[in-house]
Amino acid sequence: MNKVAVAVKELFQLEIDWLKSLPIDDKNKLFPDYVDLDRDHPINHICVTGEIALVILGIKPCCAVNHGYHTDYGKMLYEQVVKPWYNKHFDDEGGCNFVCELTKPGTAYYTGTLFDGGPGKRVDWGNSMLFWNISHPESDLVADVFTRTTRPTSNEEFRICFGIPAKDSGGRRNTCTRIEYQFQNPTDIYQIEDVCCSPCLEFISRDVDAAAVGAHFKKCREALGSIGYSIALDIHGQDKDSAAWDGISSQPWSSDAIATSWLAASGGDITRFMHMIKDDTLWVRCGMGKVNSIIGKVIQLSTNHMK
């Protein structure tokens, strides 16, 4: 097992043990989103080790932890888990490519929405745990955004800093849906039963970025596979007439968009694509009639590409 695999495995265990050990009052305070769910603060939805792994592997420029009303989470995670782990595995004097720090108050701010502080309210990423790759091509932007207090950060800047493949402009707003890269062995990773899913990375994307999403997933899957973790592509809203995100009623991706993303995720290889369908690397959230239609579109797209 290489050094990165060892370090990531250790961080997973440290973070999981820490989350499980938190008193119920702390959990209610740190994760108010999950208080009303019919399960005990699902750590499989909270754990950020997978995102940190993508930073180490050179995919994401950075991972930031803290947001909106989660005012103490990032600081606690930084002080009690990630910073001690970082000090053990990364030597600054040896030319370390990574920085782990707590951001200053007021940095990376923007105007809030109904879901993160209320319309018009200033929301920032101050007092957040920031883990970033200073050798990443977008490192300079990360350094600017997470020290900036004089002007707001745009959605596009956040997108680049967080390594999200879906752009903030182009296409129609009502064609967006939630994308999640799901760990395929969550029960083994989190040591809890009945794990419905465990997103390593999640974001919102419009259908115009379907090809970019598929290609990005392929890159993440190959990188994580090199250290022993397997992920699946989960495109939400496949079986619904409408979906909702941030209070906006929107149409989920079309069959053409899903097919485009699935083909890109397989690298354009139909044989690999069929294997990915069979082993749940490409999550199916719709009936067999629609699945067969999408598969037909994937084959047609591949045929057209080869002409």
Decide which of 111, 128, 161 is a domain's last residue: 161
In-domain check, residue 134: yes
Better-predicted residue by pLDDT, 191 or 304:
191
Domain extent at residue 265: 173-306
Length of the chain: 307
Total number of domains constituting the chain: 2
Residues ≥6 apart with Cβ < 8 Å to 16: 43, 47, 189, 190, 191
| 156 and 14 co-located in one domain | yes
- The alpha carbon dihedral of 244, 245, 249, 252 has a sign of negative
Lowest mean pLDDT among 11-20, 152-161, 229-238, 251-260: 251-260
| 28 and 141 co-located in one domain | yes
As a whole-number percent, the residues of the chain with pLDDT over 70 amount to: 84
- pLDDT for 225 equals 97
In-domain check, residue 250: yes
In-domain check, residue 56: yes
| 44 and 109 co-located in one domain | yes
Whole-structure pTM value: 0.91
| 290 and 189 co-located in one domain | yes
Residue 184, SS3? coil
Element (H, E) at 166: none
| 69 and 154 co-located in one domain | yes
pLDDT of residue 30 exceeding 90, the answer is no
Query: pLDDT tens, 250-305?
Result: 567 889 999 999 999 999 999 999 999 999 999 998 888 889 999 999 999 888 76
| 178 and 87 co-located in one domain | no
Give 287's DSSP letter.
-
- The alpha carbon dihedral of 22, 25, 26, 32 has a sign of positive
| 32 and 150 co-located in one domain | yes
| 199 and 220 co-located in one domain | yes
pLDDT of residue 34 exceeding 80, the answer is no
In-domain check, residue 166: no
Query: pLDDT tens, 236-248?
Result: 878 765 444 444 4
- pLDDT for 87 equals 93
Decide which of 136, 161, 186 is a domain's last residue: 161
In-domain check, residue 19: yes
In-domain check, residue 187: yes
In-domain check, residue 167: no
Average pLDDT, the chain: 86
In-domain check, residue 291: yes
| 133 and 221 co-located in one domain | no
For 65, list phi and psi in degrees, rounded to 5. -125, 110
| 32 and 120 co-located in one domain | yes
Residues ≥6 apart with Cβ < 8 Å to 117: 68, 69, 123
Decide which of 161, 193, 218 is a domain's last residue: 161
| 13 and 134 co-located in one domain | yes
Nearest-angstrom CA–CA distance, 46 and 35? 13
| 157 and 179 co-located in one domain | no
